[in-house]
Structure 1
Amino acid sequence: MPLYHSGPKQLAPGDVIAPGNWGSIIAATGPSHHSWHREMTLEAVRSAHFPSKPSRLVATFSCANLATAEFYRQVAVSRGWKVTADHLYEIEKVDPLAIEHRADFNLVEPIPGRGETMEQIAFLYWTAGRWYTIADAPDIRCEEVVTPSALRVVRAL
């Protein structure tokens, strides 16, 4: 089953995306990184309550379908996250049997206008307990796939 990944590097078919890049960025920057607190909370909740789920800090990330990947890129550009939106690839897991976690990528931090704490959001993320419908894109399911497997580029899109 194909998956889709966007990133800053130009890659060719057969190239491999190693797991852990996001976690390395977070670790190297430390508490001054804007995502430090959320990632530390997500990791604390995962390790305490869902230890069989893959750690986001040593994982790769992809989208479950092309429409979601294209939507993610649009959101990234609109929020100034150009680095995540430069290139789009169809990919596959190098280890097809590697565990994975699928959840709404909007649930990595509290949603504006709602009252959940970051800890509550982390539980919802790790249980895939909530999926948001985006008003401007109601047909898009914002499903990210988190896995410790490396990803192999099938083709550039």
Structure 2
Amino acid sequence: MQSFFHCAPIPLRAGSIIEPGNWGRIVRLYQPNFGNYAVAFREKVLEEIRLKEFPHKPSRLECCYMVPSYEIAKTYQNRADSRTLLIYEVELLYTDTPNHIGDWTYCYPVDDSYYFDEMEECARQYWRGEGVGNTEILVNSPIRILRCVDASSPRCPDPAYPPKPDARKK
């Protein structure tokens, strides 16, 4: 079975199962005084565009998130608001569920000055699967932690990760 990578804010053991929908649970718990307006707005626009124009795609609020490579997970982790996330190698439990492949950078416009006006078009680009330089995969399936591959975690680092090119040949 193919492995993928997932970023999570807590230490998890190999074998742990992550159920779909946790991101939606978190977003739905946001309160006005938490200052998460931009995140709630972004997810609301993404969900509205999905429902109107891409109803066959799975909801970001009801999925698990994965990326196809360690390098993309590291890029995601290096974002200013994601540095506390740990990187895990994971596997998909059910391969026959709806999924979507999109570029997560469309969910994070760089220039805040156009954020409001451009978010609908960014959402369309995301749901059309444009870009995919920073690919994320939404799945309506639980995912299983295979191992922690993050050297920043004192409890689960794998110092040999990522493998050196010659180590892959063995």
Relative to the length of structure 1, the TM-score reads 0.82
Alpha-carbon distance in structure 1 between the residues aligned to 2:83 and 2:71: 18
Map of 1:62 onto structure 2: 66
Which of 50-59 and 8-17 deviates more? 8-17
Kindly provide the amino acid, as one letter, of the partner of residue 29 in structure 1. Answer: Y
In 2, are the aligned partners of 1:3 and 1:62 still within 8 Å (CA)? yes
Map of 1:103 onto structure 2: 102
Alpha-carbon distance in structure 1 between the residues aligned to 2:96 and 2:58: 13
Q: Which has the higher contact order (CA 8 A, sep 6+)?
A: 1
Map of 1:134 onto structure 2: none
How far apart are 1:82 and its partner, in Å? 3.7
Q: What SS does structure 1 have at the residue aligned with 2:30?
A: helix
Rg (Cα) greater in structure: 2
Map of 1:136 onto structure 2: none
In 1, are the aligned partners of 2:76 and 2:82 still within 8 Å (CA)? no
Relative to the length of structure 2, the TM-score reads 0.76
Q: What SS does structure 2 have at the residue aligned with 1:117?
A: helix
4+ aligned runs moved over 4 Å, structure 1: 113-116
1:149 and 2:157 are equivalent in the alignment: no
Identity %: 29
How far apart are 1:148 and its partner, in Å? 1.5
How far apart are 1:30 and its partner, in Å? 4.7
**Superposition RMSD in Å:** 2.0
Alpha-carbon distance in structure 2 between the residues aligned to 1:104 and 1:4: 15
* Runs (5+) with no aligned partner, structure 2: 150-170
Map of 2:122 onto structure 1: 121
How far apart are 1:117 and its partner, in Å? 1.4
In 2, are the aligned partners of 1:30 and 1:36 still within 8 Å (CA)? no
Map of 2:166 onto structure 1: none
* Runs (5+) with no aligned partner, structure 1: 132-140
1:44 and 2:36 are equivalent in the alignment: no
Alpha-carbon distance in structure 2 between the residues aligned to 1:52 and 1:18: 21
Aligned residues: 143
